[in-house]
């Protein structure tokens, strides 16, 4: 007689109960708090949409129905994230014999149309207008913070964590090796991974300005933090500056995009931009700035066509290829 796979004693366990237990065992303490909170939000939606669905009764049909109901009030990308956060637990349940077949197979992801969003980045002219509107008189304020992010591309939490000891004014660099947990008020926390830690080159003018501003400050105290801070505070100030300057209203994170975009347009390599931004993979940079890369490729095509139409260029082009010509016309 063949050995039968024994089902666990929790035959009536709901999927919501299983998922909550799975999060506690596999995710709590293993992922960052902000990531775990996203899983917790997914759990709340599971309890709301399928509170009584028994785990062993989870099928492709009712799983698709779950995704469809979630998608009714969320954008497609958010629904994709919801699906991915559930899939890990479901595949574990399949491996453990709690579910006979994978109900996530061939799932169809839907979602609401994306909302209109703020401009993602400024052009060179708009950035110049913004920086011209900054109030850089007196002590360090949020305008100084905006200037720093615009010129370094640092993340909001990275810039908040800066101390005087992070600046090397002789080498004109800023070291990024920690972040500031402004969401939970827990102070300094390590960067998410090794690639986030880096040295960012700054121009001599910015180095001179900050050298004067931080010279009398405690070496290991954050230069911008004096009380509990929220990103809405900085975004509110940035919005006012944008309105006064007559430019599109952007967020503080969009200044990071602006910095990267202008570097790419200036001809800086994707690899260098990725290192400067602290991206874990160059693929992240390529995906985020795909629209700019395509635009630069189009410019390259135009440049090549322009050069090919230039007689002087064609002469040397033919010469390099060892084409026997008696003037440029034979190569046209």
Residues 266-284 have a mean pLDDT of: 90
Per the CB < 8 A criterion, the answer to whether 249 and 243 are in contact is yes
Q: Residue ranges of the alpha helices (H) in the chain?
A: 15-22, 33-49, 60-71, 76-95, 124-132, 142-152, 156-160, 204-214, 231-245, 252-265, 270-277, 282-288, 290-308, 311-320
In a 10 Å sphere around its CB, with 0-12 CB exposed, 13-18 middle and 19+ buried, how is residue 192 labelled?
middle
**Mean pLDDT, residues 249-277:** 92
Residue with tokens 């839907």: 110
Q: Do 1-116 and 124-288 have matching folds?
A: no
Q: Label residue 171 by pLDDT band (50, 70, 90).
A: very high
pLDDT digits (tens, 9 = 90+) for 81-136: 999 999 999 999 999 999 999 999 999 999 998 876 656 788 889 999 999 999 99
Give the residue-averaged pLDDT of 311-319.
45
Q: What is the spatial distance between Cα 269 and Cα 33, in angstroms, rounded to a whole number? A: 34
* Each residue's pLDDT tens digit, 24-34: 999 999 988 88
| Residue-wise burial string across 276-297, b where 16 or more C-beta atoms lie within 10 A, e elsewhere | bbbbeeeeebeebbeebeeeee
CA angle 213, 184, 121 (to 5 degrees): 60
Calpha distance 40→22 (Å, rounded): 11
Output the pLDDT for position 324.
Answer: 41
Q: What is the pLDDT of residue 10?
A: 63
Query: Domain spanning 124-288: which CATH class is it, in words?
Result: mainly alpha
Distance CA(282)–CA(269), nearest Å, equals: 11
- Rounded distance, CA 225 to CA 331, Å? 66
Where along the chain do its domains lie? 1-116, 124-288, 290-331
CATH topology of domain 1-116: DNA polymerase; domain 1 (1.10.150)
pLDDT band at 288 (very low <50, low <70, confident <90, very high): confident
Q: Which residue has the higher pLDDT, 50 or 280?
A: 50
- pLDDT of 168 strictly over 70: yes
What value does the mean pLDDT take over residues 297-317? Answer: 55
Segment 313-318 mean pLDDT: 44
Higher per-residue pLDDT: 224 or 318: 224
- pLDDT of 13 over the 80 cut: yes
> Is pLDDT of 3 > 70?
no
pLDDT confidence tier of residue 67, bands split at 50, 70 and 90: very high
Mean pLDDT confidence for 314-323: 42
Cα angle 84, 90, 95; round to 5: 130
Question: Residue 331: what pLDDT?
Answer: 39
Give the per-residue pLDDT at 80: 95
């Amino acid at each position: 007689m063949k050995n039968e796979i024994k089902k666990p004693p929790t035959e009536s366990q709901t999927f919501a109960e299983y998922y909550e237990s799975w999060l506690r065992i596999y995710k709590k303490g293993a992922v960052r708090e902000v990531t775990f909170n996203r899983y917790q939000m997914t759990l709340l939606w599971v309890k709301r949409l399928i509170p009584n669905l028994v785990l062993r009764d989870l099928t492709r049909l009712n799983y698709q129905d779950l995704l469809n109901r979630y998608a009714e009030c969320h954008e497609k990308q958010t629904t994709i994230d919801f699906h991915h956060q559930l899939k890990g637990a479901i595949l574990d349940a399949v491996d453990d014999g709690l579910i006979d077949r994978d109900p996530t197979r061939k799932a169809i992801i839907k979602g609401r149309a994306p909302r209109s969003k703020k401009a993602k980045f400024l052009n060179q002219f708009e950035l110049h207008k913004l920086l011209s509107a900054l109030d850089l008189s007196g002590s360090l304020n949020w305008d100084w913070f905006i200037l720093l992010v615009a010129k370094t591309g640092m993340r909001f939490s990275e810039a908040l964590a800066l101390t005087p000891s992070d600046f090397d004014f002789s080498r004109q660099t800023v070291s990024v090796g920690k972040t500031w947990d402004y969401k939970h008020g827990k102070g300094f926390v390590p960067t998410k991974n090794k690639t986030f830690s880096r040295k960012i080159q700054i121009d001599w003018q910015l180095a001179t300005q900050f050298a004067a501003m931080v010279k009398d400050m405690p070496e290991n105290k954050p230069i911008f933090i004096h009380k509990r801070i929220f990103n809405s505070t900085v975004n509110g100030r940035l919005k006012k500056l944008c309105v006064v300057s007559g430019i599109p209203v952007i967020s503080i994170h969009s200044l990071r995009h602006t910095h990267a975009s202008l570097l790419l347009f200036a001809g800086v390599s994707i690899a260098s931009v990725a290192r400067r931004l602290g991206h874990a993979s160059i693929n992240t940079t390529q995906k985020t700035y795909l629209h700019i890369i395509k635009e630069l490729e189009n410019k390259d095509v135009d440049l090549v066509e322009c050069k090919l139409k230039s007689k002087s260029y064609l002469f040397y082009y033919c010469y390099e290829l060892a084409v026997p010509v008696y003037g440029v016309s034979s190569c046209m």
